[in-house]
Structure 1
Amino acid sequence: MTTRQISSQQLRQMLNDGSEIAVLDVREEGVYSRDGHLLMVSNAPLSVLELRVRTLVPRLATRIVVCDGGEGLTLRAAEKLAAGGYTDVAVLDGGTPAWKAAGFRLYTGVYVPSKAFGEYIQHEDAPPEVTAAELDEWMKSGKDMVVVDSRPLAEFSRNSIPGAYDCPSAELPYRMPEFVRSPDTAVIVNCGGRTRSIIGAQVLINAGFPNPVYALKDGTQGWKLAGFQLNHGRTEEVPQPTVHGKAWSLQAVARVARRFGIHRIDAAELARLSADTARTLYLLDVRNPEEFECGHLPGAVSAPGGQLVQATDTFLAVHPSVIVLTDNDGVRATMTAAWLVQMGHDEVYVHAADAQAASVRGTVIPELLHGAVLHADSVTPAELKTLLDTGPVQVVDFATSLQFREGHIPGSWHAVRSRLPDNLKKVPVAPLLVFTAAEEALARLAATEALKLVASPVKVLAGGTAAWRAAGFALETGDERMTGAADDLNYRALDRKDNVEQAMRDYLKWEVELLDAVATDPDFGFRRYTK
């Protein structure tokens, strides 16, 4: 097939012509972050493209422009997209080097629009901050206060401020009014760095929370750099509110809706928007994942509000688009919508779904790109254990390099699907290859391709590495037997093996400087609302 190529100048015009467009950078996340990318782009690595793109770009007629850094990934991605039913796919000629040569800016790091937005809110609204040293003094003096961590529980469990409770930022106006009984109790909001501390503190202030509220400057990284210890493995959460606790939140959300012009829609209007095939609709459930699994609207995607604001580009690839945020009572959806409209999204609506309508239970299995081939024989964990104990078999793991480092089947090799031909050359020849991954579908996609590259039969571990663990079989840790560089992932500073403190300083400096960087970009579109 012949793939249409467009110049950087043409893409610049397309980004501003008012019609829907999705720019997808198909490099692995670590390369995308390290080498620089466009501002209005979503990272959709070629390795997982078939698993992610139908959620990122729901409408097949959407204009898509695929880019990379000149590695030759774009044509492969464009062919997959076209074969999968997308009808308007082009490739950025010359990739990001050509974009830079044309005088346009590239950005390192991930979640750049969201991170810049956090700094924008700090600059414009200036929520009060407390430093790590000041917080330590408050703790020692017995000050009446509570520390709440605005990250998801999994991140909180990895590292947290001593004595903190977990409460993701979209949950703060929902849970805190009942949790904090005295209006004199100071509330300190932290995250790993800056963005969610700032957003978390300001969401309480916007809601009219009566207590003194502070953002912990530089989050857990600032705490660590100040010489203080972090806790690990904690799971204490701010509890869900009772009916009494929700009463304050419902009043607060009405004020926020008026200030930011947030519109509620009913089921009939949602149905009308869903039926409009000329526009992209994102139906995002902003409650926590456990609530989502207990019942959600058909077609909804789980997008916890705090993470939606923190990593908007991982949920919303199409610009402009119609966004409907849903929850059970409108509180978290409205608070999250207020951030999205300030970020520059024009059509954001709130829909409070009743229990009867939210009838779908369980997690949502992402829709695969049409034409994705998953044909491969399976082995069970027990069968694989027997094979490993008795015969020559080689296991290849397609998890992220960090997931692999933290736990993999003993003796397995790590590989990246987009680099499969090169990676497989480094795996010892064996009469049988068994592929595994955190997502079984990823291992199946890789196995289907590997059958064309190797003479040995290739099978897939049913249920992936999680099934192996659930069966009670041991995992080993470490990063031996890597088939390539561990640049598939953007590593957080605290997940690095060395130079951790310098990485933290570099990251915090990057966050602080980001607002000035994006302020001169033509795609910069944050909005100021009067108080």
Structure 2
Amino acid sequence: MPTLSAADVRAALLAGAEIALIDVREEDPYAHGHPLWATNFPLSKLELEAWTRIPRRNTTIAIYGEALGEDLAPRAAAVLAALGYTRVHRLEGGLAGWQAAGGECFIDVNVPSKAFGELVDATRRTPSLSAQEVKQLIDTRADIVIVDARRFDEYRTMSIPTATSVPGAELVLRVRELAPDPATRVIVNCAGRTRSIIGTQSLINAGLPNPVAALRNGTIGWTLAGQTLDHGASRRFPEHVDAERREAARQAARGLARRAGVARIALHDLRTLESDDRTLYRFDVRTPDEYAAGHLPGFASAPGGQLVQETDHHAPVRGARIVLADDDGVRADMSASWLAQMGWDVSVVEPVDARERGERGQPAARAPQPAESPTVSVATLAEWLGVKAAEGDAANGLAEGHASRAGAGARDTRDTRDTRDTQDARAREVAREDVDENAAQRADEARREPLAERSARSDDASADVAVIDVTASANYVQRHIPGAWYAVRAQLRDALTRIPRARRYVLTCGSGQLAAFAAADLRGLVPDGASVYVLDGGTLAWLAAGLPVEDGETRLASPRIDRYRRPYEGTGNAAEAMQAYLDWEFGLVEQLRLDGTHRFEVL
């Protein structure tokens, strides 16, 4: 297997040449240390993500990653070769080799964007207010507007009192609708620091006449100050934008993009950027709902604020070209202005007639077909396990609610990790609306009764069957087939040491797609004479049949390392973890200096 040294990778980064440095460990170990430009590509989901995230098959790729004492690079290289990639290399010495060569290691996720945000703050001295100062302004009913620059589902989970959800790329376009009086103070918050810094500086850069400040340290700072957050808020930005304000925002965004060196391109000239030796990413930076209603062919949905926040995930090939589109230029130009400052070669599509945005909905995920595997139907598996569907309308209603959540999990398996949060949140909303409380309680009692019947059977036929669920651990904890074991797909060999031997092994996940890829892995690991099946339709089909489920961490054959617990997301985070996260962010500018590969230039 060919190798690239740390010096080779560093030289490519400094030269602006295309390279994808990929860490094939699960997300949690990745988040505990990696090079600045390494992007997380778990071996467990490599077939599902590679074609979308690394679209050019002759991209230079450097792989590293170790788990349970195994070098994962050879397995990952074999997968990529089977997918048609021709320039795949192992990072010489892996992560240890990178460090031995003097390479800097960074913790957490989406580090390039967070480090860039800290550099913006240090360079521009972005104004900010403490949590105590903002609370006093709220309590005294000062003339302020607080805007939350995160995704709406994050805002729903926890928010600053009185705040309105205005995700990052929407700020310049819409904040004038919320604060038409230039004397009104605008305060931008996020969970930690990056999106509030970028959001605040966006408004300043665009020439908003209002006084603007970031909430220093976001909801983390608010919590550490002993102040109470709201939960379940639903205030959203106004859909309508006054024509004069829209034009002012358009002119400001265009001027800023021009200063940053962003190119403009007509849609019919887009082919000139397509090349056998350059990767091209196309992103629509409007809201997901706008994207679904109609978008340009070939463009993926990446709301601008999240694209700037998670650039390493959306565009893992450093040195690639990026083209952005929206409907009037405001959001695309603002997003592009930041990407250009981050060292990306970025262009914006000139506004086009709405008829050009003829594609609707979400495009099908680009993934290969898995090898043929024997399948088992939901009915047959239920018979093997000795379970049956709960009866009654209430149970059917609950099954529909579970199916909604399973659909979110299935989409997560097909797509990528971080649409999961939004999809699961929306699915939970649907489930709450569709199932009344009493029906849910009655159905819960009904669905658990067959479990008791099964456990009382003397001829426990299910002992011959082992169900292995390779979905995201969060989905497994939320709901899974009774008796199913959770396993990290890339660590099935280790997981089998904790799963009782069986004659029949059945793999599942949300949709069954990832399970089909895992089947080939499992066949070489099970005892002689054992059979391996894939559940037809996956757990989603099980739920749609009204069959019972379990929840919780009932049978973990692998540790829950597939997702890193972010100290700035959700509730219940330890104060020590939140403070440590802030302290780490404060040190990122110095880490950038030590690393030296960033090529950031702040306007």
- The question of a shared fold, defined as TM-score above 0.5 by the shorter chain, is answered with yes
Matched, 1:263 2:266: no
Query: C-alpha displacement at 1:178, in angstroms?
Result: 1.7
**Aligned residue in 2 for 1:24:** 22
Matched-pair contact (CA < 8 Å) for 1:326–1:353: no
CA distance in 1, matches of 2:221, 2:255: 34
Instruction: Tell me the alpha carbon deviations over residues 305-355 of structure 1, each in whole angstroms, 9 at most, x when there is no partner.
Output: 111111110011222111101111111110000000111113434443432
Instruction: Tell me the alpha carbon deviations over residues 419-475 of structure 1, each in whole angstroms, 9 at most, x when there is no partner.
Output: 01221332344565443334542222223432443314422252644x656676665
Alpha carbons of structure 1 residues 447 and 163: separation in structure 2 relative to 1, 3 Å: farther
**Aligned residue in 2 for 1:500:** 574
Task: Please show how residues 37-56 of structure 1 align to structure 2 within 5 Å.
Answer: 37-56=34-53
- Of the structure 1 ranges 132-141 and 67-76, higher mean CA displacement relative to structure 2 is found in 67-76
Matched-pair contact (CA < 8 Å) for 1:376–1:447: no
TM-score, normalising length from structure 1? 0.91
Matched-pair contact (CA < 8 Å) for 1:66–1:90: yes
Matched-pair contact (CA < 8 Å) for 1:413–1:481: yes
- Of the structure 1 ranges 334-343 and 394-403, higher mean CA displacement relative to structure 2 is found in 394-403
CA distance in 2, matches of 1:12, 1:30: 24
**Aligned residue in 1 for 2:5:** 7
Task: Please show how residues 156-235 of structure 1 align to structure 2 within 5 Å.
Answer: 156-235=155-234
CA distance in 1, matches of 2:56, 2:167: 30
**Aligned residue in 1 for 2:355:** 356
| Amino acid aligned to 2:195 | R
SS in 2 for 1:234: coil
SS in 1 for 2:62: strand
- Of the structure 1 ranges 237-246 and 296-305, higher mean CA displacement relative to structure 2 is found in 237-246
Task: Please show how residues 331-350 of structure 1 align to structure 2 within 5 Å.
Answer: 331-350=330-349
Instruction: Tell me the alpha carbon deviations over residues 293-316 of structure 1, each in whole angstroms, 9 at most, x when there is no partner.
Output: 111222211111111111110011
Task: Please show how residues 461-476 of structure 1 align to structure 2 within 5 Å.
Answer: 462=537, 464-465=539-540, 476=550
Matched-pair contact (CA < 8 Å) for 2:282–2:322: yes
Query: C-alpha displacement at 1:7, in angstroms?
Result: 2.6
Query: C-alpha displacement at 1:279, in angstroms?
Result: 1.3
SS in 1 for 2:387: helix
- Out of 457, 470, 475, the residue aligned to residue 398 of structure 1 is 470
Alpha carbons of structure 1 residues 103 and 184: separation in structure 2 relative to 1, 3 Å: same
CA distance in 2, matches of 1:132, 1:254: 33
CA distance in 2, matches of 1:458, 1:273: 45
- Aligned-residue sequence identity (percent) comes to 43
CA distance in 2, matches of 1:15, 1:225: 38
Instruction: Specify every segment of 5 or more residues in structure 2 that has no aligned partner in the other structure, as ranges.
Output: 389-460
Query: C-alpha displacement at 1:389, in angstroms?
Result: 1.5
Higher helix proportion: 2
Matched-pair contact (CA < 8 Å) for 1:56–1:315: yes
| Amino acid aligned to 2:590 | D
Task: Please show how residues 285-300 of structure 1 align to structure 2 within 5 Å.
Answer: 285-300=284-299
Matched-pair contact (CA < 8 Å) for 2:36–2:112: yes
| Amino acid aligned to 2:204 | I
| Amino acid aligned to 2:253 | V
**Aligned residue in 2 for 1:418:** 490
- Out of 433, 436, 444, the residue aligned to residue 516 of structure 2 is 444
Higher gyration radius (CA): 2
**Aligned residue in 2 for 1:326:** 325
Matched-pair contact (CA < 8 Å) for 1:111–1:310: yes
Instruction: Specify every segment of 5 or more residues in structure 1 that has no aligned partner in the other structure, as ranges.
Output: none
CA distance in 1, matches of 2:185, 2:522: 57
CA distance in 2, matches of 1:253, 1:9: 39
CA distance in 1, matches of 2:602, 2:300: 29
Alpha carbons of structure 1 residues 378 and 204: separation in structure 2 relative to 1, 3 Å: farther
- Out of 481, 489, 507, the residue aligned to residue 563 of structure 2 is 489
TM-score, normalising length from structure 2? 0.81
Alpha carbons of structure 1 residues 210 and 376: separation in structure 2 relative to 1, 3 Å: farther
SS in 2 for 1:318: coil
Instruction: Tell me the alpha carbon deviations over residues 96-122 of structure 1, each in whole angstroms, 9 at most, x when there is no partner.
Output: 101111112111111111010110111
CA distance in 1, matches of 2:316, 2:552: 34
Matched-pair contact (CA < 8 Å) for 1:378–1:462: no
- Of the structure 1 ranges 231-240 and 123-132, higher mean CA displacement relative to structure 2 is found in 231-240
CA distance in 2, matches of 1:235, 1:431: 51
Task: Please show how residues 374-385 of structure 1 align to structure 2 within 5 Å.
Answer: 375-377=373-375, 379-380=377-378
Considering only aligned residues, what root-mean-square deviation do their CA atoms show, in Å?
2.5
CA distance in 1, matches of 2:564, 2:579: 16
**Aligned residue in 2 for 1:458:** 533
Query: C-alpha displacement at 1:202, in angstroms?
Result: 1.1
**Aligned residue in 2 for 1:61:** 58
SS in 2 for 1:352: coil
CA distance in 1, matches of 2:516, 2:598: 40
Matched, 1:112 2:111: yes
Matched, 1:241 2:240: yes
- Out of 480, 489, 508, the residue aligned to residue 554 of structure 2 is 480
| Amino acid aligned to 1:441 | Q
Query: C-alpha displacement at 1:17, in angstroms?
Result: 4.4
**Aligned residue in 2 for 1:273:** 273
- Of the structure 1 ranges 95-104 and 515-524, higher mean CA displacement relative to structure 2 is found in 515-524
Query: C-alpha displacement at 1:205, in angstroms?
Result: 1.3
- Of the structure 1 ranges 53-62 and 238-247, higher mean CA displacement relative to structure 2 is found in 238-247
Alpha carbons of structure 1 residues 181 and 471: separation in structure 2 relative to 1, 3 Å: farther
